Structure 1
Amino acid sequence: MGHYIQTEEHVTLFVEDIGSGRPIVFLHGWPLNHQMYEYQMNELPKRGFRFIGIDFRGYGKSDRPWTGYDYDTMADDVKAVIYTLQLEDAVLAGFSMGGAIAIRYMSRHDEADIKKLILMGAAAPAFTKRPYYPYGFLKKDVDDLIVQFRNDRPKALADFGQLFFEKHISPEFRQWFQELNLNASPYGTIHSAIALRDEDLRKELGDIKVPTLIMHGVKDKVCPFDFAREMKRGIKQAKLIPFEESGHGLFFDEKEKLNNEIMRFSR
């Protein structure tokens, strides 16, 4: 079942809502949409979980405003969904940029209605290198990527997608994955890249008080495993599970393991 939910800014968000039981709210990565969780949608509802997948503004079937791609606004959008659906004791699960926005939600909205947090290959606590944080891309790398998006977005997305998966993927899967990326708003893709480049969540990790599961690919070339160590160090009730055979796309590289750990943790 799909919902269209309006935020206070009158931006309409599409939300996929499947199954019943403990709600798990999934936040997708950049520049994907909730359909990246196909292999979780197939399994979780038949195991007693309610899958709730949000398309962020600018992505999937949601509205595509010019502004609002900073983490604060995106976290407020998540709050609108949780409030409208009247969720309580939910699990919040974020992948990559979605993991970063999940952390901002927890700090900005005082963990409202969230009982547990799952961070998967999260682009946190910061996506780019900065003083006392030697991990991730250089800010110049992201600037270069933005230039490529402005010149040839399909090629830039295809090249970036080469970094995602560790296991062999079929040409058909790669085409499907590219279509998810291309479905995003072009300016939303760029504005989100700017947020990824500039946002810093290091001081917010200590605000998270709920049990937190960190799952991260050891071979991640987009958000290096050092990110996971930093999150584990900063979040009080965090458990870190390395995914030894995964790159960034652990939702497909080791989907059975991911699904099992999500279900075990979320009960």
Structure 2
Amino acid sequence: MTNPIRIFANRASRGASARTPTTAKPRGAVILWLTGWSMPETVFAELQSHLPEFVHAPVRLSCAETPEQMRALAETAAAAWFTGTDGALPSLASSRRSGKLLIAGWSLGGLLALRLAARGFADGLVLFGATARFVRSKEQANLGWPDAVLRHMAASIAKDRLAVEARFRQRLLSDEEKKTGFCPELPPAGSWPTAALLAGIQLLRTEIHVPALPEIACPTLLVHGKEDEVCPYGAAEELYERLPQAEILPVEGGGHIPFLGREAVIAEAIRRWSHGTQAACDSPSV
């Protein structure tokens, strides 16, 4: 465990006066959004509304029927920004070559975001409730889930997929968030076809990026709930320790959707982080 952990919120407040004001507009920045298992892209809608200065390009992972297709959807979307093949994501066309590509991934989407960054597609990462490896041994329960849980979920989907989604959603929120009444803010279940649900589970079981973390050099903002039961906070600490340019924003009382109900605050954190990384890039080397 890092000693001490750098807290992004404190760093941002200390350095705000030396950087671009928060009202300034990033130069054509695009955010590619990768959602979590079983969740529609609209889970990010409120957060995106607080970041109007960015171009938002969500990826429909629910269209995938295999893990390979899910990876391909994410990579094709990222590649479109560089190559100009914007048929599926026309929002990227006006911003290419005028700014940077940030990739925001939540949970399963975080695994895909790390994969893209390892392949050189990202100028920056924003990772919500993310991990570099979802499946862990019993000895690493502070970092993830055992494979048996995912195998059971996959087997149960064929019998009653909505029940599986309902049980999973109960684990998304912390006790504090449930008491506060965050449940109605969750998008309705059933937006992913069964094939996509199974593909997502298989991807969670097999995707491993821990060895690649030291080579992912782009700036990364980690936003993680301290009470996350799906990707425990230890997974964020592992990312923080191994990624060369990571900042961490712990969300006290937060569960697996750390931005839910806190969109304005998290958006401001993303904005400050983005301005800070841009200012660092613009500063002349000594």
Same-fold call, TM > 0.5? Answer: yes
SS in structure 2 opposite 1:29? coil
Greater strand proportion? 1
Structure-1 residue corresponding to 2:254 = 246
Q: Does the 8 A contact of 1:218 with 1:244 survive in 2?
A: yes
SS in structure 2 opposite 1:240? strand
Tell me how far 1:171 sits from its aligned partner.
Answer: 6.0
| Cα distance change of structure 1 residues 160 and 240 upon mapping to structure 2, 3 Å threshold | same
Structure-1 residue corresponding to 2:57 = 52
Structure-1 residue corresponding to 2:29 = 22
- Whole-angstrom distance in 1 between the partners of 2:39 and 2:101: 23
Structure-2 residue corresponding to 1:184 = 192
| Cα distance change of structure 1 residues 144 and 43 upon mapping to structure 2, 3 Å threshold | same
SS in structure 2 opposite 1:44? coil
TM-score normalised by L of structure 2 = 0.74
Tell me how far 1:26 sits from its aligned partner.
Answer: 1.4
Greater helix proportion? 2
Amino acid at match of 2:164: A
Structure-2 residue corresponding to 1:79 = 78
Per-residue CA distance 1:11-49 (angstroms, 9 max, x = gap): xxxxxxxxx94222211111112111121122111xx22
- Summarize the alignment of residues 186-265 of structure 1 with structure 2, pairs less than 5 Å apart: 186-265=194-273
Check if 1:43 corresponds to 2:50: yes
TM-score normalised by L of structure 1 = 0.79
Structure 1: stretches of 5+ with no match in the other structure: 1-19
Per-residue CA distance 1:123-180 (angstroms, 9 max, x = gap): x211111498552111001111111211101111011101112313366435xx233x
- Whole-angstrom distance in 1 between the partners of 2:65 and 2:103: 26
- Summarize the alignment of residues 118-133 of structure 1 with structure 2, pairs less than 5 Å apart: 118-122=126-130, 124-130=131-137, 133=140
Report sequence identity in percent: 25
Structure-2 residue corresponding to 1:101 = 112
| Cα distance change of structure 1 residues 171 and 239 upon mapping to structure 2, 3 Å threshold | closer
For these two proteins, the number of residue pairs brought into alignment is: 232
Q: Does the 8 A contact of 1:246 with 1:254 survive in 2?
A: no
Structure 2: stretches of 5+ with no match in the other structure: 1-26, 87-91, 276-286
Identify the match of residue 155 of structure 1 among 156, 163, 167: 163
Query: Which is greater in Rg?
Result: 2
CA RMSD of aligned residues (A): 2.2
* Shift >6 Å, 4+ stretches: none
- Whole-angstrom distance in 2 between the partners of 1:53 and 1:193: 20
Tell me how far 1:94 sits from its aligned partner.
Answer: 0.9
Farther-moved stretch of structure 1 (150-159 vs 129-138)? 129-138
